[in-house]
Structure formats: C-alpha cells, structure tokens
C-alpha cells in the first residue's frame, strides 16, 4: 500500500468504498493525481488466503492462533477450544 503523501493543494477528491477497502483519488492543483486505498476498519488490505496475516484456524490477528489447542485443533484464545485442559501448542 502506498502512503498518502502531500504534494500540494487538493482541488478534488474521489472516494470509492468497497469490500476490500476505501479507495481515494485526489486531484492536486498541479494536475497530479494521487490514488491510494485504505483497508476498511478492522480489516487488512489483503483479505483471503493471499493475506500475509491470513489465519486459517481462527480469528486471532496474525497468521497463527495465539493459543492453539492440540486436542481439538481450535484456538483457546478465540473460545473455539472447549477443552477443560487445553493442550496448547
């Protein structure tokens, strides 16, 4: 994701909101157009399996569960694991 950099006065702004994020375009006074996309709140910029933070097991941030239970293959940190004594990885 390219950052938003200031290069002069903004004369017009377009925004487009979709499932993958909020796309912005700015027309600057010098004729340049800046375009960037910000992920929707609480999401990453790369939903799905291409997401570097994609976690196939649970809802923990990052690619791995924070408390993966060997007994039930669930994540105790996300309340997937109901084991009385989780055997954490």
Within residues 21-50, the interface with Zn ion by CB under 5 A covers none
Six-digit token string for 4: 């938003």
Binding to Zn ion by residue 68, rule CB under 5 A?
A: no
Neighbouring residues of 62: CB distance < 8 A, sequence distance ≥ 6: 53, 55
Out of 20, 27, 28, 60, the residue judged to bind Zn ion by CB under 5 A = 60
Nearest to 60 by CA among 81, 45, 39: 81
Binding to Zn ion by residue 86, rule CB under 5 A?
A: yes
CA distance 36 to 52: 19
Span interacting with Zn ion, options 11-19, 22-30, 38-46, 81-89, rule CB under 5 A: 81-89
CB of 62 to Zn ion, least distance (A): 9
């Amino acid at each position: 994701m390219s950052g938003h950099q200031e290069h002069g006065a903004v004369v017009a702004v377009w925004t487009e909101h979709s499932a993958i994020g909020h796309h912005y375009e700015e027309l600057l006074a010098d004729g340049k157009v800046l375009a960037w996309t910000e992920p929707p709140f609480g999401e990453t910029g790369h939903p799905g399996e291409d997401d570097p933070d994609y976690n196939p097991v649970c809802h923990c941030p990052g690619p791995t569960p924070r408390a993966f239970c060997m007994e039930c293959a669930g994540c105790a940190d996300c309340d997937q694991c109901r084991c009385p004594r989780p055997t954490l990885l």
